[in-house]
Structure 1
Amino acid sequence: MGGLSAALLLTSLASQAQLKPEEQVEIRQAGYQFMSWNMGKIKAQVIDGSVPYNQAQVSAAAQTIAAIANSGMGALYSPQTTREQFGEQTRLKAAFFENLEEAGKVGKNFAEAANQLASVAQGDNQASIKAAFGKVGQSCKACHDQFRAK
């Protein structure tokens, strides 16, 4: 197991003692919903153009996504929080815990993509923001494809 994966696992195990599994699921889902809402703001302004572009709003949304991505959400994952235990309340596959090294890589890639988006969103280059936004979306998809039930 890589150093990052081991560190994430240890952090996760230490934090699990403080939260009940249902609380882990609830908080984890709230974080992802808030990131999704902020991704929607960027998409509407930079990708779709359905809302007038406002650099300050796009930057704030990107900063929020990066903050959540770097907030230690790994502590909200435990083997007791998968679909096997919670049914339709969560889509986390048990495969996440069978492949912690890969899960750690996916999480690291997501945080890096979110940080890059936050960095370029501080500027006013919509093409760079669009490219970085796409990388965040790809990193989300990588996790969903491997560890999220349909």
Structure 2
Amino acid sequence: MSCWHAVSADEFARLLQAIELGNEADAARMPDEAAALKVMQAAYERLKALGFRDFTYCPKDGQYREFVEVGSTGVHSGYRDASGVWIAEAGDLWPSKPILFRDPHAPGMEARRAGTQGGPVHDSPIGVAEAPQPDPTPKAGE
């Protein structure tokens, strides 16, 4: 998805200034690789405390789950099957390479998710019942 929006020269200057300030804050908080890796590990451990698990253990059963991918600030709804992970977004399915997953219907998950509601976490604009479903027909070689 893309969106084009015209901005004034003043708005553009403010955007650039905000980006520069953000970059400076990141550099102060993470001055070297070791510091950046510590921040990344802390985020990984916090996400695990919020119910996420290492993607390696995600079943290939076509059930909808929540996924986190490096480079994204969202939690995305999708499923994993024998061909990979598919994220439901904007009425379509998109391939993904997540690092973490969680089952949103696991016991106690509502309490864990409470802190993430209203932030960058989002669900697909289409409901799970309306989302494209995996083909249950086994393919040759599976």
Q: Same fold (TM over 0.5)?
A: no
- Larger helix percent: 1
- Larger strand percent: 2
* Higher RCO (CA-CA < 8 Å; seq separation 6+): 1
Query: TM-score scaled to structure 1, two decimals?
Result: 0.29
Return the index of the structure with the highest Cα Rg. 2
